[in-house]
Amino acid sequence: MQDTNMVRNVAIVGHGNCGKTSLAEAMLYSAGKINRLGKVDDGTSAMDYEDEEINRNISINASFHSYSWKKHEIFLVDTPGDDNFLNETTFVSHVCDSALFTIGAVLGVKGQTIKFANIIKERSLPTVIVINKMDRERANFQSTVDQIKESLPLTPVILQLPIGAEDDFKGFIDIATGKAYLFDGDKGEVKSTDVPGDQADEVEALREALMENVAETDDDLIEKFLEEGELSGEEIMAGLKAGVKSGEIAPICVCAATLNKGTVPVLDIVNDFLPCPSDRQVLTATKAESEDLVEIKPTAEEPFSALVFKTMADPYAGRLTIFRVFSGVLSGDNFYNSSKKTSERFGQLYVLEGKEQKPVDSAGPGMIIAVAKLKETGTGDTLCDQAAAVILDAPEPLKPVISFAVSAKKGDEEKVFGSITKMLDEDLTLKLDRQAQTKQVLLSGVGKVHLDVVGSRIKRKFGVEMELSTPKIPYMETIRKSTRIQGKHKKQSGGRGQYGDCTVEISPLPGGGYEFEDKIVGGVIPQQYRPAVDKGIQEAMEKGVLAGYPVIDVKIVLVDGSFHNVDSSEMAFKIAGSLAFKKGAAEAGLVLLEPYMNMEIRVGKDSVGDVMGDLNSRRGKVMGMDSANGLEVINAQVPQSEILLYATDLTSMTGGLGSFSISFSHYEEVPAQIAEKVVAESAAAE
């Protein structure tokens, strides 16, 4: 077991294509953990190893590794930068103590960058900002810094000023110490040099700004700075470390990860500036047997507690359960799952190293650990010592916002849906649901790419293919006015005939669903046949009259009828009820209803006009606006048929910054011209 003070666990976060995986690769190589510097572009990186990641050149899963550097043990988590896999980053940020926030020097701050900054701010994660890709054409350090200051809810301070850029990126100046360094060799190391004369004035100005930012984090330092206008090197470093660990400031450093330039200083910064588990704010949990809160202290002496934040499905090894240890030491072969109130046995503890798994005998605070083949445990569960059972807060998974009808590509429905069910355990943002009105099975996720990747994984892991298609809209039908109608079924074809006769009053019942009332006086229809009339009407309503969609919000009153002593039967009256409803509904003015969805759309101020105009073009109704976390929140109600692919469209409109949640609101009459088209399509399909 490592001394907890020497443990770090760090999430590498940032928008897609900013070089997070390359940075992780370079750090592992420079620390001597891997013996060759792999590349994302050619599929040889240690962190992106799944076929889907290699084919798409993006991170899809949070991936894990660890390394030792100067007697420190660091657990590294490389997170996806694509919106489709934002849930992975959300869960990782919940269990990591700090972040390396990676931003590309060419692309700068993107919409996703702001989303990740908000996650970091919300979690108060101590953060070091790494401006990567300084070697690329059009790399611009100052422009990137300006964007960070203007757009992100962080307090950045320049710790490293680059020497050169693009092909001439050759070193950096440490603003805290005033020393300059040149990159030396392919292991990410540096050697000292003189500060370039043309950068001396800039270094002095940046050192003044750094002192001011550091001083503002501590009352004693600000007092000295105001009195003397200067802080010593030791005071700057001490204040910088304290400010980073408290989340008040975020130092900026520079590198070119694919060339492994500047990586060793990043390794040192992780050790020196980022917190160990005991540096973080005290975690509280709920006692499993009561509502009382209890503090979780990140020491080896405390009772064991851990949070499961990821589950991976594997057809051979079974489920792999990944958790962060918050307190105590786990060893042996069992633990208590307080969320499920059950004990679980396990065979071996592992530290994940890319696609490999390294066995360990025990795990202490700050460590990220995996075990295989647990039967009951899932993502979000708390693992603990049963004698001191607690429940840790788990993040809420992102809600799905896009749905497709799913089916088996080659007919093996059972195997496809069995495979999807396994994926539901792994990915909490997936949802599988059967749509009663359309008889389709819907697979929902956070984006089209997300669902495509699920399909690729199922094919690779389980050998079956699923097919996605645009889902049918679950329209409904209803009536506008009341009518009275007779339904009569009479059939004679030798032997016993069929006879059923009923008269019903049909009227609208807004919001009431369905109601059946029996007002038969005397015995014109015997008691045993009246439920059959009700059943026949309900079956006819289910099948629809206008376009084959269920009819809702109707009241039926059974008022009259007749029967035959020999030929009447339940079946005859069921058919009579069905006939009465079909004729009566047509007379009562059938209309088509469509589902409207509540939408909460979060966008930057610059995108509000475009998004509002787009909602109007989709027949949407804006219900109000608000502000939250620096974003504008638009509340609207929009027909479901108009927003089937809205996730993709919103990303295009907002440059990736926009996001939304969706829930069912109500049904509303379809405009005549659209209803005619739906009815015609239904008739053609029939």
pLDDT in tens, 388-410: 999 999 999 999 999 999 999 87
Instruction: Mark whether 363 and 421 lie in a shared domain.
Output: no
Same domain, 63 and 145: yes
Give domain status of residue 225, yes or no: no
Residue pair 348/371 in contact by the 8 Å Cβ criterion: yes
Q: Are residues 53 and 127 in the same domain?
A: yes
Residue 593: what pLDDT?
A: 95
Please state the pTM of the whole predicted model: 0.85
- pLDDT: which is higher, 235 or 172: 172
Specify the pLDDT at position 59: 79
Residue 264 and residue 190 in contact, taking contact as beta carbons nearer than 8 Å? yes
Does the structure show a pLDDT above 80 at 560?
A: yes
**pLDDT of residue 35 exceeding 90:** no
Percent of the chain with pLDDT over 90: 70
Q: Are 646 and 659 in contact (CB under 8 A)?
A: no
Contact call for residues 499 and 568 (beta carbons, < 8 A): yes
Distance CA 536, CA 591 (A): 21
- Which range among 160-169, 188-197, 489-498, 537-546 shows the weakest confidence by mean pLDDT? 489-498
Whether 126 and 244 have beta carbons less than 8 Å apart is answered as: yes
The mean predicted confidence, pLDDT, of the chain is 91
**Does any domain span residue 408?**
yes
- Collect all residues with Cβ–Cβ distance below 8 Å to 58 and sequence separation of at least 6: 16, 17, 48, 80, 81, 82
When pLDDT is cut at 50, 70 and 90, the band that residue 255 belongs to is: very high
Task: Tell me the two tokens of residue 673.
Answer: 């011209």
Q: 3-state SS of 461-501?
A: HHCCCEEEECCCCCCEEEECCCEEEEEEEEECCCCCCEEEE
Residues 562 and 638 grouped into a single domain: no
Label residue 7 left, alpha or beta by phi (over 0 means left) and psi (-120 to 50 means alpha): beta
* Count of structural domains, the chain: 5
CATH code (residue 363): 2.40.30.10
Q: CB under 8 Å to 594, separation ≥6 — which residues?
A: 473, 475, 476, 639, 640, 641, 667, 668, 669, 670
pLDDT, average across residues 579-601? 95
Q: What is the pLDDT of residue 518?
A: 94
**pLDDT of residue 79 exceeding 90:** yes
Residue 248 DSSP code: S
pLDDT top residue among 7 and 37: 7
- Let me know if residue 217 belongs to a domain: no
155 and 25 co-located in one domain: yes
* Contact status, residue 551 vs residue 478, Cβ threshold 8 Å: yes
The reply to whether 459 falls in a domain is yes
Q: Judge if 56 and 150 occupy the same domain.
A: yes
* HSE-CB for 664 with a 13 A CA cutoff: 7
Give the pLDDT band of residue 316 (cuts 50, 70, 90).
low
Q: Quick one: 483 and 468 in the same domain?
A: no
Q: Is residue 204 part of a domain?
A: no
211 inside domain: no
Euclidean distance between CA atoms 191 and 70, whole angstroms:
18
330: closest CA among 277, 287, 274, 384? 384
pLDDT higher than threshold 80 for residue 40? no
On whether residue 239 sits in a domain, the answer given is: no
- Residue-number span of the structural domain to which 542 is assigned: 477-588
Q: Answer whether residue 45 shows pLDDT above 60.
A: yes
Residue 620 token pair? 């949407």
Is pLDDT at 135 greater than 90 in this prediction?
yes
H or E stretch at 127:
strand 127-132
Residue pair 415/464 in contact (Cβ under 8 Å)? The answer is yes
Q: Which residue has the higher pLDDT, 236 or 161?
A: 161
Burial of 189 (0-12, 13-18, 19+ CB in 10 A): middle
Give the CATH number of the domain where residue 505 resides: 3.30.230.10
Q: Is residue 209 part of a domain?
A: no
Query: Is pLDDT of 1 > 60?
Result: no
My answer on whether 533 and 612 are in the same domain is no
Q: How many CA atoms lie within 13 A of 241 on its CB side?
A: 14
Report DSSP state, residue 613: H
Asked if residue 179 and residue 101 are part of one domain, the reply reads yes
Task: List pLDDT tens digits, range 483-537.
Answer: 999 999 998 776 778 999 999 999 999 988 999 999 998 889 999 999 999 999 9
CATH of the domain at 672: 3.30.70.240
- Res. 157: pLDDT tops 70: yes
Question: Can you give the pLDDT at residue 317?
Answer: 61
Mean pLDDT, rounded, for 677-685: 88
Burial class (CB in 10 A: 0-12, 13-18, 19+), 684: exposed
Choose one of 533, 554, 588: the last residue of a domain. 588
- Are 338 and 418 contained in the same domain? no
Question: Could you say which of 417, 446, 472 is where a domain stops?
Answer: 472
Could you give the CA distance from residue 676 to residue 633 in angstroms, rounded to a whole number? 35
CATH number at residue 102: 3.40.50.300
Confidence bin at 625 (pLDDT 50/70/90): very high
Q: What gap in Å lies between CA 657 and CA 607, rounded to an integer?
A: 9
Residues 570 and 529 sit within 8 Å (Cβ to Cβ): yes
Question: Do 130 and 20 contact (CB within 8 A), yes or no?
Answer: no
Q: Do 164 and 105 touch, CB atoms closer than 8 A?
A: no
Please give the Cα distance from 57 to 21 (Å, whole number).
Answer: 10
- Whether the CB-CB separation of 404 and 471 falls below 8 Å is answered with yes
Question: Cβ–Cβ contacts within 10 Å for residue 542, how many?
Answer: 12
- The Cα–Cα gap between 104 and 110 comes to 10
pLDDT reported for residue 17: 87
If asked whether residues 310 and 457 sit together in one domain, one would say: no
Q: CB of 354 within 8 A of CB of 65?
A: yes
In this prediction, residue 315 carries a pLDDT of 59
Residue ending a domain, choose from 588, 623, 638: 588
Q: Same domain, yes or no, for 301 and 275?
A: no
Which residue's structure tokens are 């009256």?
573
Provide mean pLDDT across the span 339-343: 95
